[in-house]
Amino acid sequence: MPKVLGDFQRPVKDQMIEFEKKFRYFMKSDVALLDRIMSYIVKSKGKQMRPIMVFLTAGATGKIIDQTYRGAALIELLHTATLVHDDVVDDADYRRGFFSIKALWKNKTAVLVGDYLLSKGLLLSVENEDFELLKYVSTAVREMSEGELMQIEKARRLDITEDVYFEIIRQKTATLIAACTAVGASSAGASQEVVDRMRLMGEKIGIAFQIKDDLFDYGTDEIGKPLGIDIKEKKMTLPLIYALNNAGWLKKREIIFKIKTQNTNQKVVREIIDFVRQSGGLEYAEKTMHEYIKEGRAILDELPDSEYRQALHELITYVVERKK
């Protein structure tokens, strides 16, 4: 079973136990090294919020069937592939408290493992003719790549507006959560109109999820993410964008100069964090996050009442109240 997230996984507890078995089977390889790495990935998997979202949305919009399991597996396979590749790009030695594939088996193997996971997901869908599900997830992977590249491009110039920020996080984070809810509804036999509404709901939740993540950068030392990591990486997030937009011309120029040239100086990073806090950036981001949550809940409430719908409401609450 996944690590405890909250009561929202209760309606799909049995399905998640079954999913664990199926997912391990879907990842199997006759190549000994690959099979060993696949076992390690299964052991080190995180909270599994995304497959839980697939199952809950399927239950809320129709019936959980074999295609739902394949849809959840497709999401996990392609998402895991992107994470394995991300660790190579970011030169990261840890993932969810475990050594990354890149750290244990080096870059070349990690890239090939990511490719293998990607191909397994594609084949799982093609062999079962789950073309609609494949379309949603492939679109998400394409947009995730575009969002990351857009962020890299903008980090060089530090000229991100709010509109650009929301487009980046929609592509980087929200698109995969939108794919989860669309895949869940589509696999359960929901109408195209309902699938589209669920996709939009997932997008709203995903944007709120990323804003919450951005807020951690300005939180306390007890929070899981290190303070100021986004500033050190020159990532322009909503609290900082708001603070800069509401600063005088000279102050804005000073802060941008410091981010460009002194972003690894811990004292300077602390100064920037204090500037954002004092400018009302955190309150603005928090308010914006709750607006997206409200919009997501309103779409969810278009569905008939059920234990699955209630669990999705609880999952949304988790998104805004989580500590890391």
Domain positions in the chain = 7-321
Contact 312, 217 (CB under 8 A): no
Closest CA to 241 of 257, 229, 252: 252
DSSP secondary structure, 51-74, as one string: HHHHHHHHHHHS---HHHHHHHHH
- Sequence-distant (≥ 6) Cβ neighbours of residue 298 within 8 angstroms: none
* pLDDT tens per residue, range 77-135: 898 888 888 888 877 787 777 888 888 888 888 998 888 888 888 998 999 999 999 99
Across the range 158-187, mean pLDDT stands at: 92
Q: Per-residue pLDDT for 220 more than 60?
A: no
* Per-residue pLDDT at 298 exceeds 80: yes
Q: How many CA atoms lie within 13 A of 2 on its CB side?
A: 24
Tokens of 99: 């050594």
Contact 187, 54 (CB under 8 A): yes
For residue 186, what are the contacts with CB-CB under 8 A and spacing of at least 6?
Answer: 71, 132, 133, 136, 195
- Quick check: 227 pLDDT over 80? no
Class of domain 7-321: mainly alpha
Note the pLDDT tens digit of each residue in 36-82. Answer: 888 888 777 767 889 999 999 999 999 999 999 999 999 998 988 88
Q: What is the pLDDT of residue 37?
A: 87
User: Could you read off the pLDDT of 154-166 as tens digits, one per residue?
Assistant: 777 777 789 999 9
pTM of the model: 0.88
CB neighbourhood size of 221 (10 A): 6
Three-state SS at 94: strand
Q: What is the pLDDT of residue 226?
A: 57
